[in-house]
Chain A
Amino acid sequence: MARMKFLCDDERCIECNACVTACKNENDVPWGVNRRRVVTLNDGQPGEKSISVACMHCTDPPCAAVCPVDCFYITEDGVVLHDKDLCIGCGYCFYACPFGAPQFPQDGAFGARGKMDKCTFCAGGPEEDLSEAEFEKYGRNRLAEGKLPLCAEMCSTKALLAGDGDIIADIFRERVVRRAGRDDDRKPPASPWGWGQAYGGKKP
């Protein structure tokens, strides 16, 4: 069974924010909530890096571990989803998530928090597939339609990849090898950016 993953290639991301717009539009995301964001490091300086970040659909999700009402579940595809009927909007998942993926819409007076909203990998939620209730609560269920998340499918530079983790790893590996073989001045490192910092060895 495929295990769904996102991967953003920082060498290709041009910070166009089209993934953010596509996600909001496709899933009819409420005002003030961004399921996906583009983060830029060293903005405006030579060698700045941008990556598109949303829920990373962790294998061992910390949001699920801290949820007091156990509203999270992982599908057969490895997509981390949650049940808005169970969610109490406590915000523990927001504190636990290292990527800041859980978002809370303002719901009512005095800035009261609504139920948590996050990237669903365009897989809907626990409601019946392709139903109106599912769309209203969780957005489009593209996986049930045989499609992958729109953010990745419409990425113009193919920086953002979404799908079976094994295939994505192959695509990315090919890219890294190809870049390492470039014969010009802008020769980028053979390993992905940040690899050395994360796993030791030579820093790129």
Chain B
Amino acid sequence: MKAWRLAGMVMLLAGCGGESADTLLDDNPGYAGKPDKHAMAGAERETVLRQRLLKIQTDR
């Protein structure tokens, strides 16, 4: 009886080891929603924010 139980346990545990790491890890499929569009155009935005940084955040 004990041997049967042991054999059953071994078979049960052996079944759990078959899963590879690739299937267990989430590869982050990406954002599921809809991103917004920025109010300012790319180049303009960069210039404005750059000026702002250099004007306000550096030592007076």
Residues of B in contact (CB 8 Å), total 27
Partner of A126, one of B34, B45, B54: B34
| Residue A176 at the chain B interface, CB threshold 8 Å | no
Give Cα distance in the complex from A127 to B52, angstroms: 25
| Residue A128 at the chain B interface, CB threshold 8 Å | yes
Contact A71 B33 (CB under 8 A): yes
Give Cα distance in the complex from A152 to B52, angstroms: 11
Q: Which residues on B sit within 8 Å (CB–CB) of A64?
A: 28
Contact A148 B40 (CB under 8 A): no
**Complex interface residues of chain A between 128 and 184 (CB less than 8 A to chain B):** 128-130, 134, 141, 143-148, 152-153, 155, 158, 161-164, 167-168, 171
A-side interface size class? 35 or more
Give Cα distance in the complex from A168 to B57, angstroms: 9
Contact A153 B38 (CB under 8 A): no
**Complex interface residues of chain B between 2 and 54 (CB less than 8 A to chain A):** 26, 28-40, 42, 45-46, 48-50, 52-54
| Residue B1 at the chain A interface, CB threshold 8 Å | no
Give Cα distance in the complex from A143 to B36, angstroms: 13
Known A164-B53, A167-B50, A167-B54: A146·B33 in contact at CB below 8 Å:
no
Which residues of B approach A to under 8 Å, CB–CB? 26, 28-40, 42, 45-46, 48-50, 52-54, 56-59
Which residues of A approach B to under 8 Å, CB–CB? 1-2, 64-66, 69-73, 75-76, 83, 85-86, 124-130, 134, 141, 143-148, 152-153, 155, 158, 161-164, 167-168, 171
Beyond the given A146-B45, A164-B50, could you list 5 further A-B residue pairs with CB under 8 A, ordered by the A residue number?
A71-B32, A71-B33, A126-B34, A129-B39, A167-B53
